Structure 1
Amino acid sequence: MNTKKYFKLFVNDLFLPIICGFFLLYINYLHIKSISGGSHLILGQLSLLRESLSTSILCFAFFMFVSYYFADKARHDSLLECVRVTGSGVSGMYLKQLGVLVCIDAAFTAFYLFYNLYAYFSWDIGHAEVLWHIVMCIFIYIFMVSLVAILLGLLIALSFKRFGACLIMIAIVMLTSPFASYVLAAFYKYDINLLAFYDFICLFPRDLSTRPPQSIGYSLLPDRISAPFFFSALLSVLIAVKILKKKSAVKYSVSAACGIICAVSLVVYLLPGMHTYTERNFSGRDFADQLYYSEKSGYSEKNENGGFSVLKYEMNLTVKNQLYAEVTMILDDDSLKSYIFTLYHGFTVKRAEDQNGASLDFTREGDYIEITSGEASTSSIKLFYEGYNSNYFTHSQGISLPGNLPFFPRSGYQSIYDPKARGFYSNFLEKPAEFYVKVNYPKTVYSNLDSAGNNVFSGVSDNLVFVSGFLAQTNIEGVDIIYPYLDIEQFEEEIMRNDFTVFLNSKHDDNPLDKIIILSDSITGKYGRCNYFSDGTIVCDQIRILFREYSESLVGNKKQSLFSVYNLYTEYHDDFENRLMYEREVYTDGESGLAMTLQDAIDRIGEEEVLKKLEDYFKDNSDTRSYEEFFSSLQN
């Protein structure tokens, strides 16, 4: 039988054409509904791709069952015996069946591409990098995932009888579904991490219930690309063992080629930095910081001046699968016996050198590095380090390095993470330093520093930020704004201009404003929603509520929660009353929330006096009391 006859066999079956037709109609319905409903106006211009990728697990289940049914049909319809008698070859029969299913897979993929390309052009996205992203996502998460399912269905048909095969296929779908991640996450409380295994076998995009990632899109990192190739090659080897003749040259050749693909894919998957954050999911990498800084781990905050400052930073940063950094620091005091730096623990220090290139001894404990001076005075220190953070990413799809993540060394001990707020503190250099930074990266990189072109930056500031991805730059009233252009719900030109005007009207200080950089697709946490740098740059996650976030960002980390409530009381009193009502319903047994505490102080002491003391408390950066200590002093 030639391949055409196998197509005819597929079409003439009572079940296969009907189920394929229904599934195709369902795909068309989802895409037409998304396009006609204007989802891109709310969810951004990757909303249709999100709709497409949400069916990835359905494609997997569909093609696995269809592949099994088609192969099993050959055995039970006496077709296999016919092939043996005619000498056509059992392996040839199964290969032609595979060919039919791969063609159907390609046809389905073409439908997905058609709708997404229609959206790309009709929504006037106009960025070739986004077009490439869409095509690759459809190829990996639709075509390749379906191909794995086809091979898996055939292997199950070759290995198991009907009842057992059905149970196995149902178990596989359940094990690789998002539901499994919730079940496996429950084992964390017992210090059992099964999610690394889940990450490996789950070929689908993670949680698609949220808005699409706006600045980097969905994950096309090597770990996501290599996984379906690994399983396709592995299943091909197992099928070859089943259907090809023993001691066949073809069998050995196929097995060897697929084995090489398996090995290469596995090595790529296991490379460091391949599992950095791009999507929300329940894997340990998304909660790595929360787990590391938890009380259970023994973490405690530490703040202490190092006794020196860095006058100038010269950095050579390379972003591949992770961040590779060479950082030279010019020091203001060359007489110390040792120098303490704070650097996020996810960056592994390879070596340290002095101004003459001589190696320096160093020790490390968590986020803190102590470097011992050599025999001569140490006027500069050069650190070589590499690594990544699981939330603020540095990889082939984009860069998100904000100032509150210590991705470059800072003098002294600094507490960098608040376990209760589940976010990094807003830490700045004690004195602005001079920076010269070269970022080796194929895409355009944006920074708070002045750009000299070719991703080279320089300037003076008390902090650093670097971002890259699906970003664009515009200028509104003399202020440069870097934003994710796919998120037209927030950053369409007119909307952005209106939100910016509201913010300017609410800004009553004399701080210069030159640039606003939007951090998208990172869990910014309480302290990362808005930060003001000394060079006149604001780093925030949106402009819409910047009129509230900005003033809060100017007070110290420990004061921000109280300032937020103070701001509600003075500027948005109805919102304060709503919060007060909520706290009175929630807090019992003598407990109280911040709104309750503030209202109680005002009732006892008087509004004018309490608000005046609060203003002084917020303005005095040397006042490091917590808000509990502040209210305690009012009682005295």
Structure 2
Amino acid sequence: MLISPDLAYGYSLRPYRIFAYAVWILVLCAVLFFYISKERGKKKRLFSAVVCLVAGMCLLPFVFRSNSDIIYDDMNSEGAGREISYYERNNITSPDACPEFKITSYDMELKLSNVLHAEVKVSVSPSALDIYGFTLYHGYKVKEVKDESGRALKFKQTGDWVEVESAGETSSLTFSYDGYSNTHYSNGQGAALPGTFAYYPRAGYVVCADADGYEHLTLDEPTQFNVRIKNRKKFFTNLDRTGKNMFSGKTTGLTIVGGFYKEDKIGDTNLVYTSVGRDVNEIKKVFSNLMETYDRSFNTIMVAELREGKYLRDYGDTLVFTGMSLTGIEMDYFLSQVPEIRADFGLQAYVFEYMRDTFASYAAGDKSIGMNTRYVRVEAAADKYGDEYCRKAIDKYLYDESDTRTPDEFIDDLNRGTENIKN
């Protein structure tokens, strides 16, 4: 099992753990008073009994604690196994396709306590559909859906999907739900909610997870969010802060973190980072160099403890880094710019572009043991047509999402010399 504890969570400070410490202290006191009371009368015995009673009461938070206290890494066998077994056990299949629509804005009030309690209003377009279909992770249970007039609507929640029946034309729907995820947690201790996770309703039916882990879901275009988080602790998002735990702005995925985090600045850029196990001076230096190298500026950079799928995700005006080491940040940034449909070819493209000798050595090694890998085949094309031809062709293919070829089909064409590139 791969163990990777969340440094921002503060496991030892969970209330049930503090009560557990108190139990041992009180039990020791009770034992001491018990022996003392043998010689000093009934008052001491009564006090000893009271101490035992208090110790017993301290066990209650431990016994009745919420499952949202149990945090898994989706990369370890237990966390991943729980998700896979859920889908296999329930034989979840996607419902029939619903009519297409867009969510034009979100208004969210999130209360983080024992679990996540959410009231989320989504503005929808078009407004005259009979059925609206949404994706919401199955760990969150919908209690009620209302239209803009406050009228309760019929809905059906099946696995990760919620089907809502409208009662005439409606411009918005308000969901009330609560629940938790053991990987992407949100409770009174903190939050680790990546923008790629369906903890708020998404338009249409999408699979949230499969045998390979969580799907990484982002919105098709930047969407307006207005968010209020009800908790006495300070939380952080990839939106502009407008008040105490209040945020507003546009993004393709709302990211929320809370726990052991601090704020700083890199020039005019806001920096949010895990305050445990991180050197803020190193963070500033690395991201300052990155912005200078790629001529980019960001409103916010987040160095967070999240299970995001990518070590670096670019939300436009916000950059979210979730890796352990800052050493390969240039490669992480390169891969963050590669469209999802080209993700499995991104690493080879990076090595060819920026680590040419390493690419050649990989190709030679694979060829020596009779393997016809992508490294071998791209190297063959470079031998025939030159590095510059391959670089331009690879760059064009990576970012042209209208090109429907698979990476292997592209490499076959690369070896034929048929790529139409400008010299």
- TM-score range for the pair, normalised by the shorter chain length: 0.7 to 0.9
Note the 1:150-165 alignment, pairs <5 A.
Answer: none
Which one of the candidate residues 322, 325, 334 is aligned to 1:551?
334
Letter in 2 for 1:334: S
Secondary structure at the counterpart of residue 553 of structure 1: helix
Partner of 2:311: 529
TM-score of the pair, normalised by structure 2:
0.80
Letter in 2 for 1:224: R
1:60-90 deviations in whole A, cap 9, x for unaligned?
xxxxxxxxxxxxxxxxxxxxxxxxxxxxxxx
- The question of 1:450 aligning with 2:240 is answered yes
C-alpha contact (below 8 Å) 1:352/1:382 kept by paired residues: yes
**Equivalent-residue separation in structure 1 for 2:408 and 2:31 (angstroms):** 65
Note the 1:5-154 alignment, pairs <5 A.
Answer: none
Secondary structure at the counterpart of residue 538 of structure 1: strand
Residue 417 of structure 1: how far off its partner (Å): 3.8
Residue 305 of structure 1: how far off its partner (Å): 8.2
The higher radius of gyration belongs to 1
1:188-223 deviations in whole A, cap 9, x for unaligned?
xxxxxxxxxxxxxxxxxxx7xx7x754233432234
Partner of 1:360: 153
CA 1:339 to 1:622, structure 2 compared with 1: closer, same or farther past 3 Å?
A: farther
Identity of aligned residues (%): 25
**Equivalent-residue separation in structure 1 for 2:32 and 2:366 (angstroms):** 63
CA 1:474 to 1:264, structure 2 compared with 1: closer, same or farther past 3 Å?
A: closer
CA 1:418 to 1:337, structure 2 compared with 1: closer, same or farther past 3 Å?
A: same
Residue 611 of structure 1: how far off its partner (Å): 4.0
Partner of 1:479: 269
Note the 1:217-366 alignment, pairs <5 A.
Answer: 217-227=10-20, 258=52, 261-262=55-56, 265-266=59-60, 268-277=62-71, 284-285=78-79, 288-289=82-83, 291-292=85-86, 307-366=100-159
CA 1:559 to 1:357, structure 2 compared with 1: closer, same or farther past 3 Å?
A: same
**Equivalent-residue separation in structure 1 for 2:80 and 2:210 (angstroms):** 16
CA 1:575 to 1:469, structure 2 compared with 1: closer, same or farther past 3 Å?
A: farther
1:286-313 deviations in whole A, cap 9, x for unaligned?
75345546x7875679997851111111
**Equivalent-residue separation in structure 2 for 1:632 and 1:252 (angstroms):** 85
**Cα root mean square deviation, aligned:** 4.2
C-alpha contact (below 8 Å) 2:70/2:182 kept by paired residues: yes
Note the 1:479-498 alignment, pairs <5 A.
Answer: 479-488=269-278, 490-492=279-281, 495-498=282-285
Which one of the candidate residues 406, 412, 428 is aligned to 2:204?
412
Residue 386 of structure 1: how far off its partner (Å): 1.4
- The question of 1:507 aligning with 2:297 is answered no
Partner of 2:398: 618
Letter in 1 for 2:66: P
Which one of the candidate residues 507, 510, 517 is aligned to 2:302?
517
Partner of 2:420: none
Size of the aligned set, in residue pairs, is 411
Which one of the candidate residues 8, 13, 24 is aligned to 1:215?
8
Letter in 2 for 1:555: V
**Equivalent-residue separation in structure 2 for 1:563 and 1:358 (angstroms):** 49
Partner of 1:541: 322
Letter in 2 for 1:345: H
**Equivalent-residue separation in structure 2 for 1:632 and 1:337 (angstroms):** 48
Which one of the candidate residues 546, 553, 567 is aligned to 2:350?
567
Letter in 1 for 2:289: V
**Equivalent-residue separation in structure 2 for 1:284 and 1:240 (angstroms):** 44
Partner of 1:382: 174
Larger helix fraction of residues: 1
CA 1:391 to 1:334, structure 2 compared with 1: closer, same or farther past 3 Å?
A: same
Letter in 2 for 1:517: M
Residue 368 of structure 1: how far off its partner (Å): 1.8
TM-score of the pair, normalised by structure 1:
0.55
Letter in 1 for 2:311: R
Letter in 1 for 2:274: P
Secondary structure at the counterpart of residue 9 of structure 2: coil
Larger strand fraction of residues: 2
